[in-house]
Amino acid sequence: MADCHALSCAEVTVCGANVEACNGVYHDKEFSDCSTYNHIYENNSGGIIYFADGQWRLKTQKSSSDPLYAIDSDAAVPPIGKWRNQDGIGYCNVEVAPLAIVMQHPPDASFILFV
């Protein structure tokens, strides 16, 4: 695979979750591989948004390995809208601020893409 470096700058806001630690503003913590979605978003209350097995998932650091909320998607960033609670009866609302991606390929050449 070609050498590729990327930095994603997105802000995700969650509200309406019945677990208070899930609500709030999330920032992109990690992006390590251009070939897969390895974003991890965290808020200051211990909430985590991550991508796995064709879903964007939301959980807390203190919860089990199962997500509390999820949405089926292959989008590169968490999708906007209502994410279902894993019990199937509740939702949280997710909003995403405009995204800027800085790509370097090769590492000495860069450009900015606003999505």
pLDDT of residue 114: 52
Mean pLDDT by 10 residues, the chain (115 residues): 47 94 87 54 92 92 83 90 91 84 54 51
Three-class DSSP category at 20: helix
What's the CA gap between 20 and 45, in Å, rounded?
8
Is 6:31 a contact under the CB 8 Å cutoff? yes
pLDDT of residue 68: 92
pLDDT of residue 37: 47
What's the CA gap between 101 and 6, in Å, rounded?
7
Is 84:91 a contact under the CB 8 Å cutoff? yes
pLDDT of residue 3: 39
What's the CA gap between 111 and 89, in Å, rounded?
43
Classify residue 22 by its DSSP letter.
G
**Hey, where are the domains in the chain?**
5-114
Three-class DSSP category at 2: coil
pLDDT of residue 70: 95
